[in-house]
Structure 1
Amino acid sequence: MPARTGQEYITGLKERPREVWLNGERVKDVTEHPGLRNGVRSVAALYDMQHDPSLREEMTFASPTTGEPVGLSFLIPKTIDDLVRRREMMTRWAWASCGMMGRSPDFMNAIFSAWAGSAGFFAQDRPEFKQNMLNYHEFIRENDVTLTHALVNLQRRRHQGPTDILHDDVALTAVKETDAGIVVRGSRTLATLGPISDEIAIYPVASHRLDEEAKRQTFSFSIPCDTPG
């Protein structure tokens, strides 16, 4: 799939309903709920800019996989000109909401593009992690995935140190690893855009400050927002 339209984004949310609760009530359709629908429409308008004939060259680039136009925020910059071009694209999206949408999709796209550009770093632990990162970047780019993230474990106090929140009964913790992947248990605080995203990226913050035991809370994966539970 090349760069999505706004309607394709909305249709995706309708076809893959997720469990969202507001004020104690289950939200049946995030695209129609009064508290969420304008956010959905705002994101959809950003995607439509990718198909505006007057903006297409500024908003997209040719996929290295298919040659189809894909969102420019997925570009891995290799030159100063690449950086300028991507900055100008992101500026257009920011101005579309006058900067009021602080978690537009380009935020996460740029993060994963940076990681894909430095994929060799992830191979330091296990060689297959490099290819995992490259594969995932290709997946979100080619499908124009809307990502949010969950970084922070629940707080026990307002001024905690990095290990104060890492208790197995609360913090998201890897409890075992199988051939199919890791099994985790616990909680993370969901970031902005969570109810109207396609997937949730889970990755650690300040893990370099943790001891070996706390490394059980250090992992990265992504999960679709409509995953049961």
Structure 2
Amino acid sequence: MTEVLYRSDSYLRETTARVVSASEAGVVVDRSNFYARAGGQPGDTGTIRWDGGEVPVLEAVKGEGEDILLRTPEGAVLPAPGTEVTLTLEWQRRHRHMRMHSAMHLLCSLIPGAGVTGGQVGADKSRLDFDLAEPPSKESLTEALNALIAADHPISESWITEAELDANPGLVRTLSVQPPRGSGQIRLVRIGSGETPVDLQPCGGTHVRSTAEIGRVEVTKMENKGRQNRRISLVLVEG
């Protein structure tokens, strides 16, 4: 089982690890700062380096069981099992995913009561689909999102038991994807502090430490994807 380092430190850009296995499918290591694709967030990319070689990571994905598989180019020279390696994230891409994912949680907070039917985190554009008849306007959502971002709310995590989640089903906003079960623990991402946070929901993805770190965003498009399925797209506004 790969030790998942990004859950305790999503800012860990580089770490050492030891190779468990290497094949045409990719490399499995004993510990990883690479996020494995899940829940609409892409897997991380970056580099594996070792004494005498290096290979790019095309994407981190889920392997067998609890392993994280680092996909590598076909025919690449790979480190042998037991080799100590250095794992380096393509940080700019990961950080944009973190900013985007946190912004998407804020978007959820602005549309209370509507289930999320789908979503995709992207470095350049992200989207959320809501079970919603009539969404607010692009302009009002953009204004409200940037007000929450500017308020510099802290973003933190905590853990509850599966039984506690069952007793509070309203915490789950996603209709298409349910929180992973089996370990007995569910990770919650909280935006804001106090008894009434801005947003609180189960999530296994990576996030920034505060809303101010997201930077300015813009809701760019609203699409009708069904009788009550509305797709809302947003981008990061740089500069």
How high is the TM-score relative to the length of structure 1? 0.25
Higher helix share: 1
Bigger strand fraction: 2
